[in-house]
Amino acid sequence: DTGVSQNPRHKITKRGQNVTFRCDPISEHNRLYWYRQTLGQGPEFLTYFQNEAQLEKSRLLSDRFSAERPKGSFSTLEIQRTEQGDSAMYLCASSPLTGMGETQYFGPGTRLLVL
Amino acid sequence: GEDVEQSLFLSVREGDSSVINCTYTDSSSTYLYWYKQEPGAGLQLLTYIFSNMDMKQDQRLTVLLNKKDKHLSLRIADTQTGDSAIYFCAGYSGGYQKVTFGTGTKLQVIP
């Protein structure tokens, strides 16, 4: 296992279109996170899964955003009716359920540009 | 929730030591992390320290934690041009199931 992977790496879309991103975590990791990072800022938490259960959602995650992790492995993040303000890097991270703190391992991110 | 603050920019000469500072607000933070992000890339975990430790050393990296002042620092010895990146401090407080990141410090290493 080479780490967390994300696809696509880059996405350009027109305002109003729907987009979907995929994250494949490190295989034995139970926990999966989505973050959004805008230019000049640190990552901001969006949502968190433990196995297939979505346990926490940030208020940043409007009703246009939905995330799933149907079999407790890969996850998808969908943005409906994209807006220019959605342009950002979307980062996925995973961590093991070891009780050793939330040491998260990040993927390379998907950079979204909404025109 | 937690707030994590960092200075925005640091410039050092190659071979010198770099010290990147971070302050956090949540005294219940149990783990504190340093991540490195190179342009266009995701975040790479560099090191972390548990809140009951004062110092952790890992090769060229030294992490110092002052829990009383809620201050964390990362020292990079013998800084190289490959260390040029943005460094993020982050804290984990257990109950919130998430990590809060600072805004990042851009380290520029001058050859």
Query: 10 Å Cβ neighbour count for A6?
Result: 22
* Closest chain B residue by Cα to residue A34: B98
Among B53, B54, B48, which residue's Cα sits nearest to residue B92? Answer: B48
Q: Name the residue among A48, A103, A108 with its Cβ closest to that of B98.
A: A48
H runs (alpha helix) in chain B? none
Q: pLDDT of B10-65, one tens digit each?
A: 999 999 999 999 999 877 777 899 999 998 788 998 999 988 889 999 999 999 99
pLDDT, averaged across chain A: 91
Q: Looking at residue A10, what is its pLDDT?
A: 96
Strand A44-50 versus strand B105-110 pairing type:
unpaired
* Closest chain B residue by Cα to residue A5: B42
> Which uninterrupted H or E stretch holds A7?
strand A5-7
Among B4, B8, B6, B48, which residue's Cα sits nearest to residue B25? Answer: B4
Q: Looking at residue B63, what is its pLDDT?
A: 96
Tell me if B45 and A42 make a contact (CB, 8 A cut-off): no
- Residue A18 — pLDDT band, cuts 50, 70, 90? very high
Residue A1 forms contact with B (CB below 8 Å): no
* Residue owning tokens 């949540």: B26
Q: Which residues in chain B (17-46) have CB-CB distances under 8 A to chain A?
A: 30-31, 33, 35, 40-45
Query: 10 Å Cβ neighbour count for B17?
Result: 12
Q: Rounded mean pLDDT of A39-53? A: 90
Chain centroid offset of residue B17 CA: 14
Q: Looking at residue A47, what is its pLDDT?
A: 93
Q: Looking at residue A6, what is its pLDDT?
A: 97
Residue B90 forms contact with A (CB below 8 Å): yes
Q: Looking at residue B37, what is its pLDDT?
A: 94
Report d(CA B98, CA A37) in Å as an integer: 15
Q: Looking at residue B100, what is its pLDDT?
A: 87
Q: Is the pLDDT of residue A66 over 90?
A: yes
Return the sign of the alpha-carbon dihedral for residues A107, A28, B30, B99.
positive
Residue B9 forms contact with A (CB below 8 Å): no
Chain B contact set for A107 (CB, 8 A): 42
Q: Name the residue among A41, A55, A104 with its Cβ closest to that of B99.
A: A104
Determine the distance in angstroms separating the CA of B51 from the nearest CA of chain A, rounded to an integer.
11
Report d(CA A14, CA A84) in Å as an integer: 9
Tell me if A42 and B48 make a contact (CB, 8 A cut-off): no
| Residue B78 dihedral angles phi and psi, to the nearest 5° | 50, 60
Report d(CA B28, CA B51) in Å as an integer: 9
Q: pLDDT of B74-111, one tens digit each?
A: 999 999 999 999 999 998 876 545 788 999 999 999 99
